[in-house]
Amino acid sequence: MSSRPPLRPLDDAMADLLARARPLAGAEEVATYEADARVLAEDLVSPLQVPPQDNSSMDGYAVRSAEIADEGVVLPVSQRIAAGQAGTPLQPGTVARIFTGAPVPQGADAIVMQEDVEAAGDDVRILRVPDAGQWIRRSGEDVQRGAVILQRGHRLGPASCGLAAGIGRDRVRVAPRPKVALFSTGDELVMPGTVPPEQMQPGAIYNSNRFFLRQLLVRCGCEVSDLGIVPDQREATVAALRSAASAHDLILTSGGVSVGEEDHIKPAVQQLGSLDLWQIAMKPGKPFAYGTVGDAHFIGLPGNPVSSFVTFLLLVRPFLLQLQGASQLQPVAIRLPAHFDWKRPDKRREFLRVRRDAGGGLELFQNQSSGVLTSTVWADGLVDVPAGQTIARGDLVRFLPLAELLA
């Protein structure tokens, strides 16, 4: 029996991987409208106050609160201010008709909502004594002029693109998209659409990894060149790697990183560059390879679909985010009670496919095999089980939400 290298702890492999992910040089300017999932390459500083002026948060009447000491005061309406209009200073002894979003006229210090007012001829009767400041949204209560609203390294999303637009930014500087060449290895693989199910040869399976890996890459902000399936041959693998290396920041493969004779990734990458095969102490997903081909990074994921999926989320995703200079690489883990027992401790740290139930706890998918992709669809998160540990119903466990890992 050949001696096997010791398994590497996941955190160790992660630190090693991140140490190699130097942020890509350069930045580009994109439309804020199109900037979802991009990483800011500049601090966004606000040139103005948001809201720009004090404005009304109600349809009603702008008043001087000191003039309304008691219920039933009757005052004339001296002007009408709709959203988008400037208004004029409020004449003493009068009120201004005002609408939501309209600037509060100078001199007024409160808004009386229209439900608290009744008509008294051409004047209005105020039915409730206002507190100074009520129903006024203050200038700058959202954003102060000169404030950094979003920092370099922030990964933009719908809310932050809205905030950037709110300070007038139609364009933002962002990190370049990592260019990733993706291919699958394995002679058993068939592309869906090329062979109908009833004509599949014995041993053949459809290539599922290609589909989720491409979409995961896109969600991580990458530009993907899908190079399809590379046959289990040394020359074909070398040729595919060589042609991908020049124009890409990362070559990502799935399959072929175990140590069987049909695993051609290792010798091919070694021929063109360097490769470290890492046996990571995690389940699913033990085999994992990092190397370089020319100037490109190389990452080889395991072929088993769940292993491929989970190692992508836990290792490749932070790697790609760091290439873009993102400040937050990891999801926020939360502690939730297990609504299941897990009695089989493993030597490796394990990531169980689980789902939250209506009782605020976690249910376990029955089949945790690394080939069962159904588990990843059923699940809404992973439970991080330390090596050698069991779980009893009611234990608080570390839950990693898939919603964050897939964002």
Q: Which amino acid is at 289?
A: A
**Residue 46 contact among ligand AMP, Mg ion, none, beta carbon within 5 to 8 Å by kind:** none
Please identify the residue of the shown chain whose CB is closest to the bound ligand AMP: 303
Of 79, 208, 270, 292, the one binding ligand AMP by CB under 6 A? 208
Angle at which helices 265-272 and 234-245 cross, to 10°? 50
Return the number of the residue (87 or 300) whose C-beta is nearest Mg ion. 300
**32 is a contact residue toward ligand AMP (CB under 6 A):** no
Residue 197: cis peptide before it, omega within 30 degrees of 0: no
**305 is a contact residue toward ligand AMP (CB under 6 A):** yes
Binding letters toward Mg ion, positions 277-316, x by CB under 5 A: --------------------------x-------------
Minimal CA–CA distance to 95: which of 80, 84, 85?
80
Helix (H) or strand (E) holding 243, with range, is helix 234-245
Q: In whole angstroms, what is the distance from residue 281 CA to residue 256 CA?
A: 18
**361 is a contact residue toward ligand AMP (CB under 6 A):** no
**Residue 184 contact among Mg ion, ligand AMP, none, beta carbon within 5 to 8 Å by kind:** ligand AMP
219 and 229 in contact (C-beta within 8 Å)? no
Alpha-carbon torsion angle 293, 295, 296, 298, nearest 10: 40
Would strands 110-113 and 60-63 be described as parallel, antiparallel, or unpaired? antiparallel
User: Which region among 6-14, 48-56, 296-304, 397-405 touches ligand AMP (by CB under 6 A)?
Assistant: 296-304
**Residue 189 contact among Mg ion, ligand AMP, none, beta carbon within 5 to 8 Å by kind:** ligand AMP
- Residue where the block lists tokens 């399959």: 255
**255 is a contact residue toward Mg ion (CB under 5 A):** yes
User: Which region among 43-51, 179-187, 223-231, 374-382 touches Mg ion (by CB under 5 A)?
Assistant: 179-187
SS3 state of residue 215: helix
User: Which region among 53-61, 72-80, 206-214, 378-386 touches ligand AMP (by CB under 6 A)?
Assistant: 206-214
Residue 284: cis peptide before it, omega within 30 degrees of 0: yes
**331 is a contact residue toward Mg ion (CB under 5 A):** no
Of 87, 303, 361, 381, the one binding ligand AMP by CB under 6 A? 303
SS3 state of residue 185: strand
360 and 337 in contact (C-beta within 8 Å)? yes
**186 is a contact residue toward Mg ion (CB under 5 A):** yes
Of 184, 253, 279, 311, the one binding ligand AMP by CB under 6 A? 184
**Residue 139 contact among ligand AMP, Mg ion, none, beta carbon within 5 to 8 Å by kind:** none
Which residues lie below 8 Å from residue 158, measured CB to CB, with a gap of 6+?
36
**189 is a contact residue toward ligand AMP (CB under 6 A):** yes
**304 is a contact residue toward ligand AMP (CB under 6 A):** yes
Minimal CA–CA distance to 65: which of 146, 135, 142?
135
**188 is a contact residue toward ligand AMP (CB under 6 A):** yes
Q: Which amino acid is at 17?
A: L
Return the residues of window 246-265 that contact ligand AMP according to CB under 6 A. 254-256, 258
**Residue-wise over 10-25: b if at least 16 C-beta within 10 A, else e?**
beebbeebeeebebbe
**105 is a contact residue toward Mg ion (CB under 5 A):** no
**87 is a contact residue toward ligand AMP (CB under 6 A):** no
Binding site for Mg ion (CB under 5 A): 186, 255-256, 303
The residues binding ligand AMP (CB under 6 A) are 184, 186, 188-189, 205, 207-210, 254-256, 258, 302-305
